Structure 1
Amino acid sequence: MYTPAGLCATFISFLGFFKLNQWLNSELCFIPVPAKYAGSTRYKWSNAVGSFIHATLVSLLGAYCMYQTPEYFTERVLTTTTLGEIIIGIFAGYFIFDSVDLVKYQGIQATWPVVLHHVVLVSVGLGYFLYHHQLVGYGMLACLIEINSIFLHGRLLLLMYGFSKTSLVYRLNSVFNIITYLAFRMGCLVLLIPMVMDDCERISSFWCYWFRVTAVTLLVINLILFYRLIRSDFITKSNKGIETDLNIMVPNNNNLNGKSH
């Protein structure tokens, strides 16, 4: 059964990122907005800032939680703490908000890889982790993946603020982006599959099947993302068409020309 900690964290996270988004899009916001995104496409900038904040927050909380409870590494099925469930709630609340925000402004056709990623993780987080109070260790593993998300969203913000792909800051971020992508994002996903196979014997057959589908789905999505990242930052030699290259997860988006809903 659900406990107040996880559900409250989900609601507060959703509401918190919703209010943050409203503030970022209001005149009260004191953070400098790139001139190119001060008009009808400001929602892209505010979404990127919110994603960066989320990645930083859960990375720090997750690292602290795993340091405090190293059992998450060894006993992934039964180990659970209040902080761990709160972090899962933060994940779920943010992913629900981000899915709504992306579909609202850019449409499902352009954003389906991200929305699919979010739907899969929310279904697992709310459907199993927080309800059964098991496998929370997998949520903590996802916190390590979010370490890469800091640099992935940092890349997006650098492009929005007009940094050239040849600038030192962008190149440094690209290097750390690739390193953390391979070490944390892909590394954790590769470890996830055999872990799921081992732990499946201790949970119901339905969720065992769904976790396998989830692991494979996330691996495929992130392999596609990695290809787009390499092609964009290490194969493409110029900034030509940089606007269509801002978010490598939602390519060929017709709304990039400034159209909003």
Structure 2
Amino acid sequence: MYDIVGTGTVLTSCVAFWLFNKFLDDNSEPVKVPEKYSGYTKCKWRNVMGSILHAVLVSMVGFYCVFRSPEYMSERVTTHTTLGEVNICITIGYLVYDASDLMRFQGVYSTWPILTHHCCLFLLGFGCIMYHQQLVAYALMGSMIETNSIFLHGRQLLLMYGFSKDSLIYKINNAFNIFTYITFRLIGGSIMLLVFLPADYDKMSSFWFVVFTLAILTLVVINMILFYRLIRSDFIAKDYRSSNIMLSPKQAEKTAIKET
């Protein structure tokens, strides 16, 4: 059953992220808003700021929980600690607020991969982990995957502030972004799907095994799609622009048509 600590943390987290975004909306100091995002599109900038805050918080707590309670990795179904549950509830509160904020300001069409990602995590976190207080280890592994979000959203922030993709700071962030994306999101997600879930099949109900399998599979596919977009934006499109820099606009247009 839902306990007061978990439910209270979800509500507190949701309100806290709303207050954080409201603070960013109402104040230009101490964080300077990029000029391009000082108008209506400011919602995109503060959404990235909130995502980075969430990623830093839950990834650090996730690693701490697993370090303090290594049984999370050996008994993934039944191991439960209060701090682990609180960390998950912080994420659930963030997902509720972030999903509503995205739909309100950016629409469903342009943000459907993120909204699908949020729905999967919400279903797992609120439905199984909070109610049954089981499979907390899987949620904490998901929290550790958020390490990549620090660099993934950091990339967006650098672009918002006008940093060139050729700048040193962007290249350093990009290197960490690619490495953590492959390590945490793609490899980590695949290990949960192909190794941990089959090993825990006998310890969990058939219903939640199917739900977790479908949800994690969906997340892995979405992460692969987003990874392709990332590679295309930072490498393929860059190489394409470089190869066509000496062409006239008409020649470049013909080349683009041939390559599509």
| TM-score computed with the length of structure 1 as normaliser | 0.89
Q: 1:248-259 maps to which residues of 2 (within 5 A)?
A: none
Q: Is the 8 A contact 1:144 1:185 kept in 2?
A: no
Q: Does 1:211 align with 2:212?
A: yes
Q: Is the 8 A contact 2:185 2:220 kept in 1?
A: no
- Paired amino acid for 1:225: L
Q: 1:57-206 maps to which residues of 2 (within 5 A)?
A: 57-193=57-193, 194-206=195-207
Q: Is the 8 A contact 2:84 2:140 kept in 1?
A: yes
Q: Is the 8 A contact 1:62 1:143 kept in 2?
A: yes
Q: Does 1:20 align with 2:4?
A: no
Cα deviation for residue 176 of structure 1 reads 0.6
Partner of 2:236: 235
- Structure 2 Cα separation of the partners of residues 139 and 211 of structure 1: 11
Runs of 4+ with deviation above 3 angstroms: none
Determine helix, strand or coil for the equivalent of 2:200: helix
- Structure 2 Cα separation of the partners of residues 159 and 238 of structure 1: 18
Q: Does 1:44 align with 2:33?
A: no
- Structure 1 Cα separation of the partners of residues 62 and 240 of structure 2: 36
- Paired amino acid for 2:68: Q
- Structure 2 Cα separation of the partners of residues 205 and 142 of structure 1: 21
Partner of 1:244: none
Q: Is the 8 A contact 1:21 1:50 kept in 2?
A: yes
- Structure 2 Cα separation of the partners of residues 222 and 40 of structure 1: 29
Partner of 2:256: none
- Structure 1 Cα separation of the partners of residues 234 and 130 of structure 2: 38
- Paired amino acid for 2:77: V
Of all paired residues, the percent bearing the same amino acid is 48
Cα deviation for residue 61 of structure 1 reads 0.9
Cα deviation for residue 79 of structure 1 reads 0.3
- Structure 2 Cα separation of the partners of residues 111 and 69 of structure 1: 36
- Structure 1 Cα separation of the partners of residues 168 and 107 of structure 2: 34
Cα deviation for residue 29 of structure 1 reads 4.3
Cα deviation for residue 198 of structure 1 reads 2.0
Partner of 2:253: none
- Paired amino acid for 2:218: T
- Structure 1 Cα separation of the partners of residues 94 and 189 of structure 2: 21
Determine helix, strand or coil for the equivalent of 1:76: coil
Partner of 2:11: 11
Higher relative contact order (CA 8 A, sep 6+): 1
- Structure 1: runs of 5 or more not aligned: 241-261
When residues 97 and 168 of structure 1 are mapped into structure 2, their CA distance, relative to the original with a 3 A threshold, is: same
Aligned-residue CA RMSD in angstroms?
1.4
- 1:182-204 CA deviation, whole Å, 9 max, x = no partner? 11111210111121122132222
Determine helix, strand or coil for the equivalent of 2:83: helix
Question: Which segment is superposed worse, 19-28 or 70-79?
Answer: 19-28
State the aligned residue count: 240
Question: Which segment is superposed worse, 78-87 or 57-66?
Answer: 57-66
- Paired amino acid for 1:224: I
- Structure 2 Cα separation of the partners of residues 71 and 27 of structure 1: 44
- Structure 2 Cα separation of the partners of residues 27 and 225 of structure 1: 32
| TM-score computed with the length of structure 2 as normaliser | 0.89
- Paired amino acid for 1:170: Y
Determine helix, strand or coil for the equivalent of 1:236: helix
Determine helix, strand or coil for the equivalent of 1:189: helix
Q: Is the 8 A contact 1:10 1:89 kept in 2?
A: yes
- Paired amino acid for 1:203: M
When residues 28 and 37 of structure 1 are mapped into structure 2, their CA distance, relative to the original with a 3 A threshold, is: closer
